[in-house]
């Protein structure tokens, strides 16, 4: 079918999306960006403002995946309406950072580290939405409404290191997150669920406690897939598949609008288990690059 269109580790759900073993090398970012159309800052600001209007905390790292994917998908849908066949679009790091500051009203010294570092390193986003019908095949599961390829990174020769690291202190345990110079993933929108798949270039490790001691020995974890669904009252139910060697961890959490993450559903919310059962259904997708 072709498509056109657990032990709890909370921070893995938003941030621990790491390079799979044996992943194919990514092409130079400049090569991908050459033909991309730059998105206007007004368009980025508009998409970010729509997320701000939903009332969740845009400063929390635990909300960063919800925020970034929602902004990207909103911009992509506008691009499709204007140019259905492409080309790819470029969200420049200065536009992302500038729009974020305008929407949040934050001065530079108060911008969260995960946003400030991306700007400091010049981390651009390039999104390919004009995929051929043969680009994606659903082997098991249901059809997405939209499939895009996302590449994130900064060019060679800037004098910057090939990675940056920060510690997310909003989670328990705290999580050390590393962004590589080139990040890539497939983004699938099912309408009622978002999936990030075949992610390369981001790794994370718990700090402190039993999990911290374990990962200090075995190294950073590699996420195979990240899925989440947003309820009508703004809670985010997230399911991830994380592997490190022979280990497999499948964390399931709920994130509140303020960024608080819990590993147990609140009392009286049987609907959340229904959402969890849905996003945990079998799903297998093959991509044109063999990933």
**pLDDT at residue 206 is higher than 80:** no
* C-beta neighbour count of 290 within 10 angstroms: 7
Residue-level pLDDT at 86: 87
Count of domains for the chain: 1
- Is the residue at 18 inside a domain? yes
Residue-level pLDDT at 130: 86
- Is the residue at 155 inside a domain? yes
- Is the residue at 287 inside a domain? no
Q: Alpha-carbon distance 93 to 115, whole Å?
A: 10
At 70 the three-state DSSP class reads: helix
- Is the residue at 78 inside a domain? yes
User: Quick check: 167 and 6 in contact, CB under 8 A?
Assistant: no
- Is the residue at 290 inside a domain? no
* More reliable by pLDDT, 168 or 84: 84
Residue-level pLDDT at 133: 60
pLDDT band at 10 (very low <50, low <70, confident <90, very high): very low
Residue-level pLDDT at 258: 92
Residue-level pLDDT at 131: 79
**pLDDT at residue 210 is higher than 90:** no
Q: Alpha-carbon distance 174 to 170, whole Å?
A: 7
- Is the residue at 184 inside a domain? yes
pLDDT band at 201 (very low <50, low <70, confident <90, very high): confident
Q: Alpha-carbon distance 110 to 131, whole Å?
A: 39
Q: What is the pLDDT of residues 217-263, one digit of tens each?
A: 445 566 678 999 999 999 999 998 777 677 777 888 899 999 888 88
Share of the chain above pLDDT 70, in %: 78
- Is the residue at 129 inside a domain? yes
* More reliable by pLDDT, 291 or 281: 281
Top-confidence range, 6-10, 46-50, 176-180, 267-271: 46-50
Bridge partners (DSSP) of residue 197 are 186, 225
Domain hosting 208: range is 10-282
Residue-level pLDDT at 152: 96
Residue-level pLDDT at 253: 87
Residue-level pLDDT at 208: 60
Q: Alpha-carbon distance 128 to 148, whole Å?
A: 6
Taking the chain, what is the end-to-end CA distance rounded to the nearest angstrom?
Answer: 17
User: Quick check: 205 and 176 in contact, CB under 8 A?
Assistant: yes
Q: What is the mean pLDDT of residues 44-57?
A: 98
- Is the residue at 21 inside a domain? yes
Enter the tokens of residue 265.
């559903």
Residue-level pLDDT at 204: 73
Q: What is the mean pLDDT of residues 71-97?
A: 95
pLDDT, mean over the chain: 82
DSSP 4-35: ------GGGGTT---PPTTPPPPPPHHHHHTT
Dihedral pair phi/psi, residue 272, rounded to 5°: -70, -35
* C-beta neighbour count of 148 within 10 angstroms: 23
**pLDDT at residue 26 is higher than 50:** no
* Global pTM value: 0.85
At 59 the three-state DSSP class reads: coil
Q: Alpha-carbon distance 161 to 159, whole Å?
A: 7
At 276 the three-state DSSP class reads: helix
**pLDDT at residue 202 is higher than 60:** yes
């Amino acid at each position: 079918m072709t498509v056109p269109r657990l032990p709890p580790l909370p921070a893995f759900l938003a941030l621990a999306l790491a390079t799979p073993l044996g992943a194919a090398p990514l092409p130079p970012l400049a090569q991908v960006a050459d033909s991309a159309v730059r998105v206007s800052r007004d368009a980025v600001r508009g998409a970010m403002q729509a997320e701000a209007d939903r009332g969740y905390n845009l400063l929390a790292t635990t909300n960063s995946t919800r925020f970034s994917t929602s902004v990207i998908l909103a911009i992509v849908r506008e691009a499709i309406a204007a140019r259905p066949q492409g080309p790819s679009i470029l969200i420049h790091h200065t536009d992302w950072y500038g729009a974020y500051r305008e929407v949040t009203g934050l001065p530079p010294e108060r911008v969260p580290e995960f946003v400030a570092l991306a700007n400091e390193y010049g981390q651009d986003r390039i999104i390919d939405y004009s995929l051929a019908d043969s680009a994606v095949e659903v082997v098991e599961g249901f059809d997405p409404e939209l499939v895009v390829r996302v590449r994130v990174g900064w060019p060679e020769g800037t004098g910057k290191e090939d990675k940056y690291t920060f510690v997310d202190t909003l989670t328990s345990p705290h999580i050390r997150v590393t962004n590589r110079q080139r990040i890539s993933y497939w983004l699938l929108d099912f309408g009622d669920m978002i999936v990030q798949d075949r992610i390369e270039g981001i790794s994370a490790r718990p700090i402190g406690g039993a999990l911290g001691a374990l990962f200090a020995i075995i190294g950073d974890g590699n996420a195979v897939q990240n899925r989440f669904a947003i309820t009508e009252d703004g809670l985010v139910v997230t399911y991830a598949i994380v592997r490190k060697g022979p280990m497999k961890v499948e964390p399931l959490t709920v994130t509140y609008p303020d960024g608080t993450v819990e590993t147990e559903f609140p009392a009286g919310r049987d609907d959340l288990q229904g959402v969890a059962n849905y996003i945990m259904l079998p799903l297998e997708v093959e991509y044109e690059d063999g990933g």
